[in-house]
Structures are given as structure tokens and as C-alpha cells.
């Protein structure tokens, strides 16, 4: 369920330059789709895993989005969403898994983009060792929990500057996917009418959607919202 928004270029064999803070300024539903095709790179002592983002969701602190953690202001949990753009907002969802988000917008806006899914392009063997239950490459990072598991992202990464070359987790520019689609967000019960989920059209790692804003055939750990 969704509509095709745009068509762009192709894949990239190596990551492009780091994103700049200015690229993350703007309305959440405008910034979020520009992250598709970007590389999320995670360097750890045991090796590096990188993936191309194939699915994201926008969340706004403007007061129109009760599904956002920032809807009630800068609570201890959501305070980082009000910080500078490019920070990594990591939170524990449903008491079982971590979700990763990119803070966007100007300081004080309280906006972020949930990183829902990606395609592993570097370090597949290491990602598989972290995700032994994955039955195929598309399962390695197909869902918010799988994405953080494949990249070994957790509590200690909260607040990481994704735009800093010295950071262990970084966000690099990549070419836009050939086709981008938009539709309702997944796994939320409020503001379900906002078409703020964006994905690479046809990407196998993208969430399976059914009417009502909930996922289909996804195990625990697949969903969450910032």
C-alpha cells in the first residue's frame, strides 16, 4: 500500500561523503525519503558492517504527531530528539529490542527518522553471526530490530554524532534508489493516516503492510516508533 514518489539513480559500491547537518534540516516528511540509499556504517572492534537504507519513517515534534516520543516535549527519553540534527536516537522498544533513529530538523524541533530496514552491503558474514536466525540476506536488516542487531547498535550508541568521521556509527550519502514509495507508518495506533513511511520500491527488506497500520508476518522485534 503506497504511492510512488520519485525515481532516481542506482546503487553505490562504496559509501559517499558523510551527510552534512544542513541536509537534515526541513520537514520530517521531506527529509526522511532523502535518507533512502544512504549508507549506515558501524565500525566495531570485531569488524565493520554497513547497509543501504531501504525503509524509513518520519516522526514530528510539531504537535500533529502523537505517535512521536517528542509529542509530550523533551522528556528524559525523548530529550535527544530536541538536540542538533545528525545525532543517533536509540531506544528500547517493547522491552525486547533496540530501535535506531536519526535526529533531524533544527534544535528544539523534536523530530527524528526511524531507520526501519536496510540491505547489508559490507560485512555480511559478521552481520550473519549477529543474526543467526536470518534465513536470507534480506532478513539480516529487514526491520528496526534486525537492523540494530546486524549493526550491533544499542544503548551505548545513544547520542552518537552520525556526521562525525571519528564516530563508530556514521551516516554517508548514497545515490537515491530507482523508485521511492510512500504510505502509512507501521506498528502504531495513532496518527495512522499520515503517509510518512518511505521505502525503496520493490526492495525485499521492506515491511509487509496491511490496512490498519500494523505489520503482517513479522515476529517480535520488527516494529517501533520514536
Angle of CA points 192, 193, 197, to nearest 5°: 75
User: Quick check: 208 pLDDT over 60?
Assistant: yes
112-160 pLDDT, tens digit per residue, is 999 999 999 999 999 999 999 999 999 999 999 999 999 999 999 999 9
| pTM for this prediction | 0.87
Q: Give the span between the Cα atoms of 92 and 157, in whole angstroms.
A: 12
Residue in the structure block whose three cell numbers are 538536540: 83
Q: Taking the CB of residue 190, how many other CB atoms lie within 10 A of it?
A: 13
User: Quick check: 109 pLDDT over 60?
Assistant: yes
pLDDT value of position 95: 65
Higher pLDDT, 72 or 58: 58
59-91 pLDDT, tens digit per residue, is 998 788 988 999 888 998 899 999 999 999 999
pLDDT value of position 97: 85
159-187 pLDDT, tens digit per residue, is 999 999 999 999 999 988 999 999 999 88
Q: Tell the CATH superfamily of the 3-215 domain.
A: Methylpurine-DNA glycosylase (MPG) (3.10.300.10)
Q: Sketch the domain layout of the chain as residue ranges.
A: 3-215
Query: What are the strands, taking DSSP E only, across the chain?
Result: 3-7, 39-44, 47-59, 88-93, 97-104, 111-122, 169-172, 179-183, 197-200, 209-210, 214-215
Amino acid at each position: 500500500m503506497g504511492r510512488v514518489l520519485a525515481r532516481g539513480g542506482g546503487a553505490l559500491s562504496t559509501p559517499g561523503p558523510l551527510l552534512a547537518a544542513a541536509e537534515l534540516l526541513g520537514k520530517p516528511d521531506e527529509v526522511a525519503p532523502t535518507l533512502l540509499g544512504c549508507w549506515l556504517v558501524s565500525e566495531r572492534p570485531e569488524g565493520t558492517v554497513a547497509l543501504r537504507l531501504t525503509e524509513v519513517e518520519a516522526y514530528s515534534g510539531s504537535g500533529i504527531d502523537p505517535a512521536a516520543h517528542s509529542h509530550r516535549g523533551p522528556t528524559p527519553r525523548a530529550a535527544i530528539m530536541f538536540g542538533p540534527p545528525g545525532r543517533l536516537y536509540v531506544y528500547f522498544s517493547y522491552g525486547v529490542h533496540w530501535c535506531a533513529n536519526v535526529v533531524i530538523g533544527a534544535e528544539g524541533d523534536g523530530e527524528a527518522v526511524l531507520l526501519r530496514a536496510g540491505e547489508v552491503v559490507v560485512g555480511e558474514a559478521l552481520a550473519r553471526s549477529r543474526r543467526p536466525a536470518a534465513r536470507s540476506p534480506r532478513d539480516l536488516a529487514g526491520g528496526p530490530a534486525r537492523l540494530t542487531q546486524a549493526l550491533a547498535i544499542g544503548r551505548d550508541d545513544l547520542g552518537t554524532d552520525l556526521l562525525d568521521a571519528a564516530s563508530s556509527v556514521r551516516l554517508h550519502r548514497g545515490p537515491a534508489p530507482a523508485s521511492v514509495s510512500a504510505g502509512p507508518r507501521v506498528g502504531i495506533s495513532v496518527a495512522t493516516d499520515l503517509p510518512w513511511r518511505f521505502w525503496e520500491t520493490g526492495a525485499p527488506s521492506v515491511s509487509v503492510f496491511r490496512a490498519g497500520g500494523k505489520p503482517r508476518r513479522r515476529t517480535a522485534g520488527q516494529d517501533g516508533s520514536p
